[in-house]
Amino acid sequence: MKAIRFEATGGPEVLRLVDVPSPEPGPGQVVIRVEAAGLNFIDVYQRTGLYAVPLPRTPGLEGAGVVESLGPGVTGLSTGDRVAWSSTPGSYAEETMVPADVLVKVPPGVESRTAAAVMLQGMTAHYLVETVYLLKPGNACLVHAAAGGVGLLLVQMAKRKGARVFATVSTEEKAVLARGAGADTVILYTEQDFAAEVKKRTDGRGVDVVYDSVGASTFEKGLECLAPRGMMALFGQSSGVVPPFSPSLLARASLFLTRPTLFHYIADRASLEWRAGDVLGQVASGQLAVRIGGTYPLAEAAEAHRALEGRRTTGKVLLLP
C-alpha cells in the first residue's frame, strides 16, 4: 500500500510517498481503509521536530474510513463499519491500524470526509467551550485564527452557548467566513490592534476567555484583552512558541493560564464517546457546519503542508488516499 513517511525532520520536502506492507491487526486493533485524513498543525510540529516523535513516521492523527479487518478481542465493530478516529498516528496512508478503543462509529448522514474533518478540531473546540472554560450566556470570548478549522467550529459552538464572540482574522475573505459562522465582531489583526479593539468594544472590561492557537505573535496582547480573573487558553502555536515570561504578567488582573491538549480531555472511553458523539451529532443534525477548505491527493502531502503553514487555507484541509 501507499503511505506518506518522513525519515528525518525538516521542511515539507521530507514527506515522501512510499510503498509499505499492509498492516495486520493484533489484539485489540483494527485495520481501516482510509477514505480521508485530516491535516493539523500538530503534524507540522512533528515533521519539523518541534514535537519529538520516533522516526521513521507516517503522520496524521485523524481520519475516517471503513473497517477492513479486526484483531482478536475486538467487539462492537464489524467489517464494513464506517468509523473515525483522532489522536493516533498513521492516517496519511491508504490503510492504517488503529486501536479499537479510540474508534467511534460515523452516524448515518455524515460523510466520511466530514467526519475526518471534524474529529480532532471539533473535539478541540468542544473541550475548550465545554470544559476548559464553560461558556455561559453573557460571557465574552476572543477566538484567534477564527477562519481556520478549529476557529470556525469554536465560533459556532461559542454562539450556541450564548456567548459574545470576538474573532481575529488576517484578510477580509477570512472575515466573511468568521461572520458567517456567527462572530459578533471580526477584527483584521493585520490592520487593527486587536487588544485595543476588544477593550474599546467592551467598555474597557475585556473578555472572559481568550482561545489562542497562534501563540508567539498574539499571546501578550491576548492577555491585555482579558477581564479580571479571565482565562487564557493557549492551545496552539502556529506562529511559534511563546517565549518565557514572568508570572507577574498574570497578576495585573488575577488572570488564569492553561495550555491544554485534546488527549487529556478524551483520555477515557466515556469522555471520547461523549465529545465525539456530541460533535458528530451536531454535524448530523445540521447544528454545526464543517468547512472543508481544501483537499489534496495523498501524494501531494508536502504541498498541503506548505499551504497550511503559509496560512493559505481556511476551514479544514484533507488528504484523500
> How does pLDDT run across 166-178, given as a tens digit for each residue?
999 999 999 999 9
For residue 162, give the C-alpha cell: 450564548
In percent, how much of the chain has pLDDT > 70? 100
For residue 234, give the C-alpha cell: 493557549
For residue 238, the model assigns a pLDDT of: 85
Write down the CATH number for the domain with range 2-119+271-320. Answer: 3.90.180.10
Closest C-alpha among 293, 291, 288, 286 to residue 311: 293
Whole-angstrom distance, CA of residue 212 vs CA of residue 275: 21
Segment (H or E) for 64? strand 62-70
Whole-angstrom distance, CA of residue 198 vs CA of residue 27: 53
Tens-place pLDDT, residues 45-76: 999 999 999 999 999 999 999 999 999 999 99
Given the candidates 3.40.1350.10, 3.40.50.150, 3.40.50.2020, 3.40.50.720, the CATH classification of the domain at 136-259 is 3.40.50.720
> Band of the pLDDT at 293, cuts 50, 70, 90?
confident
Enumerate the CATH 3.40.50.720 domain ranges in the chain, comma separated: 136-259
> Band of the pLDDT at 153, cuts 50, 70, 90?
very high
Whole-angstrom distance, CA of residue 20 vs CA of residue 117: 25
* Contact (Cβ atoms closer than 8 angstroms) between residue 165 and residue 155: yes
- Burial label for 6, CB within 10 Å (0-12, 13-18, 19+), is buried
Q: Would the pLDDT of 124 be above 90?
A: yes
For residue 46, the model assigns a pLDDT of: 96
Enumerate the CATH 3.90.180.10 domain ranges in the chain, comma separated: 2-119+271-320
Output the pTM of the full model.
Answer: 0.91
* Contact (Cβ atoms closer than 8 angstroms) between residue 303 and residue 296: yes
- The verdict on whether omega for the bond into residue 59 sits within 30 degrees of 0, i.e. cis, is no
For residue 310, the model assigns a pLDDT of: 86
For residue 204, the model assigns a pLDDT of: 97
Whole-angstrom distance, CA of residue 271 vs CA of residue 134: 16
